[in-house]
Amino acid sequence: MRIYAPGYYQALHQGMEVRALNLKVAEDRSAFDELLACADVLLTSQREAALTRLGLSNDALARRF
């Protein structure tokens, strides 16, 4: 969306911090875990099976955070 509709993307994300992380890379996963430790909500469009493979299922997150 950032590439195809930059004006809309800019307006939609105004005032937000946007970070792109590859959760299969250890450094990015550590950064994501730090963000989760301070988060109240995690919104994702990932399928449940993908989240489970990444250790981000509801149960796993409830145990860790």
* Rounded average pLDDT over 37-54: 93
Enter the tokens of residue 29: 């996963």
Enter the tokens of residue 18: 């946007």
Residue 65 has a pLDDT of 87
User: What is the largest distance, in Å, between two alpha-carbon atoms of the chain?
Assistant: 40
Residue 28 has a pLDDT of 97
* Rounded average pLDDT over 2-30: 94
Residue 1 has a pLDDT of 87
Q: What is the pTM of this model?
A: 0.76
- Which residue's structure tokens are 């860790």? 64
pLDDT at 36 exceeding the cut of 90: yes
Mean of per-residue pLDDT scores for the chain = 93
